[in-house]
Amino acid sequence: MEALSGFFAILDATLRVSTPLILAAMAGLFSERSGIVDISLEGKMLASAFAAAAVAAVTGSAWLALGTGMLVGVVLALVHGFACITHRGNQVVSGLAINILASGLTVVLGIAWFAQGGQTPSLGSDARFMPLELPLAEAARAIPVIGTFYADVISGHNVLVYVAWVAVFATWWVVYRTRFGLRIRAVGENPLAVDTAGLSVSRLRYSAVAICGALSGIAGTYLSTAQNASFVREMTAGQGYIALAALIFGKWRPVPAMLACLMFGFLDAVAIRMQGVVLPVIGEVPVQAIQALPYILTVILLAGFIGRATAPKAVGIPFLKER
Amino acid sequence: MSINTSSIPLPAWLEIGLIPVLNIVMALFFSGLIMLAIGVNPIEAVGIMINGAFGYDEAIGYTLYYTTNFIFTGLAVAVAFHANLFNIGGEGQAYIGGLGVGLVFLLLDKYLPMILLIPLGIMAAGLFGAAWAYIPAWLQAHRGSHIVITTIMFNFIASSIMVYLLVNVLIKPGQMSPETRQFDESSWLPFMHEVLGWFGMEVTRSPLNLSLVFALLCCVFVWVYIWRTRWGYELRTSGQSEAAARYAGIKPKTVIITAMCVSGALAGFVAVNEIMGVHHRLLLNFTAGYGFTGIAVSLMGRNHPVGIIMASLLFGVLYQGGAELAFEIPKITREMVVAIQGLIILFSGALALMLRPWVVQGYLKFKPVDEVVPA
């Protein structure tokens, strides 16, 4: 029983750590499936995390914080779109610019507004997304294994964790089961064909990029108002890039990308527990090795050593309408 | 506005003079708006920055010391750009370059004279940087994995490796902070104030060291390499059209790997300035984002050594002036410079062509009638 509850604790932590990754990976999926490379997930999350925490600190409303976080995500996404779609600029350069801008601006504004070394004031529980008890969680505890799994792993998260799961299903449904999703996929594979069919490539890409911004906004809001109780400088700490890695790992498909996020989250949860633990034969596993594993695995995957990751065909190529 | 202006050629002074300057003006304009938003007078801020960067000789020393780093990373990005490769991994390559310097000096600094240690250190920085760029390059050339993603991942992997090594292996025994012991003085690159002192010039101490001279030599080397050698010709050809290059008998795979190794070595030279010149020991995060700034520098400098020197100087001013600004005005922090850097990358890079249609229209309006060629 002891081992089981320990394992459940790891799974519980996995879900908490994976949530921002899943949201950001779904965000990236929309953008990249429409043909716009997005390395600015990191910057959008960071800026949204700051905006959400700032609004929550001032107004005391978590939902207003979520709205602001999403708004900031969308605005940055539209800047990215303006550069990449309207002006056919280099998508990697634009994404990098947003990341660097967010990294600088969040600290500058944080210090100017709150004067706490770049942090936002810590939030009380009403201004945050607090854990929810799912129905019957306590009653289910009586049932061994399945019941405790329900009570300890599934139940007891804040609403944004469940939003992330819904987002995966919604992304799958939109991308594979709706006309809009078909068009998004088409515009990422062959924009000329979409253009010939009389649809606006720019409009489709702008909407995809805006959805990406909104989802990264939720991811950022989660970091500063649900997982933590304030914004801390550089609090994304590469999670936007891990989400990008997970997206590639999932071959630009929603469910595999989610599984990759869960795997990376699991590694992270294990890494925290492994600190200082000496394993038989291997000895002490350095935490840094586990932390670097998502990146190493992605490099190996991209090199085609474990399956092949094929990007949307038109990703990264600006579209020039024929005249 | 529906006419296609991108095919209308502009004279050089507009194309490489006015448009880049306008882009920087746009970036600085938005930086000014940010300052206004936090209640700081931008004009006053610029004054403090300029004075902080050039006002006294110690300030000039610091400005040029930052400039040195940016020349290395800017050149690194530019060499890769000419081969149509986007090396985002300068940060990791510089970090691993530092590992090279650290290992060589930890092993040998007690036994070898300065005349051998310094060239060995420079070579180690370049070789380790190049090695860290070689893997993504090989993967791009032979396995088709995208260099942008791989180099991003390699930045994180480099960071993990360095944290592990400094915390567990290379740390000076009996000390808390994760850094190596100080290297022997015979491995230190002379400071500029010492060098000028030999010639009888009195200059205030600053971190500026002989690496600046080495950086300028690298500029000459890169110019010769890109525009005056067969390899540079192959690199540019392959960068402009891989198919054309292949027909001309150039091997694009070799070009990718060579270009990235040269790029990685240049990024690795940041360690020459930071480790051999200033810190004299290996420590965490000595790269401090210089690798990423190199991208802004290269974009601003239009991938040409002369442009890169000018852009590096501008960033040197921003960094040193920004430090002074943070000191003078408590409301402003050094991160302001990071935000400005983001805006410069946005306007000089991603939105580089935003203003061009207007410039073309203005140009056509003022051009003498007999010169207008019907499109």
Residue contact A304–B143, C-beta within 8 A: yes
Read off φ and ψ for residue A278, nearest 5 degrees: -100, 120
- Per the domain annotation, does B214 fall within a domain? yes
pLDDT tens per residue across span A151-192: 888 888 999 999 999 999 999 999 999 999 999 999 999 999
| Structural domain boundaries enclosing B184 | 67-305
pTM, to two decimals: 0.91
How far CA B11 is from CA of A52, A200, B4, B17, B359, in Å, comes to 48, 34, 17, 9, 11
- Per the domain annotation, does B71 fall within a domain? yes
Residue A84 has pLDDT above 70, yes or no: yes
Residue contact B350–A84, C-beta within 8 A: yes
With an 8 Å Cβ cutoff, is B150 touching chain A? yes
pLDDT tens per residue across span B271-307: 999 999 999 999 999 998 999 999 989 988 989 999 9
With an 8 Å Cβ cutoff, is B148 touching chain A? yes
With an 8 Å Cβ cutoff, is B331 touching chain A? yes
pLDDT value for A323:
53
pLDDT value for B154:
96
CA distance A196 to A306: 37
The residue behind tokens 């040195």 is: B68
Residues of chain B in contact with residue A37, where contact means CB-CB under 8 angstroms, are 148
With an 8 Å Cβ cutoff, is B34 touching chain A? yes
pLDDT value for A307:
66
The count of CB pairs under 8 A between chains A and B is 151
- Number of structural domains chain B divides into: 1
CB within 8 Å of chain A, chain B residues 206-235: none
Q: What SS3 class is residue A278?
A: strand
Task: Give me the amino acid identity at A66.
Answer: L
Residue contact B332–A302, C-beta within 8 A: no
Residue contact B338–A103, C-beta within 8 A: yes
Residue contact A100–B336, C-beta within 8 A: no
Residues of chain B in contact with residue A79, where contact means CB-CB under 8 angstroms, are 346
Is the Cα dihedral A277, A280, A286, A290 positive or negative? negative
Q: Answer for the pair A56, A74: CB distance below 8 angstroms, yes or no.
A: no
pLDDT tens per residue across span A263-296: 999 988 888 777 767 776 667 778 888 888 889 9
By C-alpha distance, the chain A residue nearest B326 is A108
| Interface predicted TM-score (ipTM) | 0.90
CB within 8 Å of chain A, chain B residues 299-318: 299
Residues of chain A in contact with residue B337, where contact means CB-CB under 8 angstroms, are 104
pLDDT value for B1:
43
- Per the domain annotation, does B251 fall within a domain? yes
- Per the domain annotation, does B2 fall within a domain? no
pLDDT tens per residue across span A61-80: 999 999 999 999 999 999 99
pLDDT value for A204:
96
Residues of chain A in contact with residue B342, where contact means CB-CB under 8 angstroms, are 97-105
Tokens of A67: 């709205």
Interface test with B, best of A79, A106, A107, A295 (most B CBs within 10 A): A295
pLDDT tens per residue across span B308-363: 999 999 999 999 999 999 888 888 888 898 999 899 999 988 898 888 888 888 88
- Per the domain annotation, does B221 fall within a domain? yes
pLDDT tens per residue across span B259-281: 999 999 999 999 999 999 999 99
> Residue A45 — pLDDT band, cuts 50, 70, 90?
very high
- Per the domain annotation, does B8 fall within a domain? no
- Per the domain annotation, does B114 fall within a domain? yes
pLDDT value for B365:
84
- Per the domain annotation, does B336 fall within a domain? no
Q: Please spell the DSSP secondary structure of A214-265, one letter per residue.
A: HHHHHHHHHIIIIISSS--TTTTTTHHHHHHHHHHHTTT-HHHHHHHHHHHH
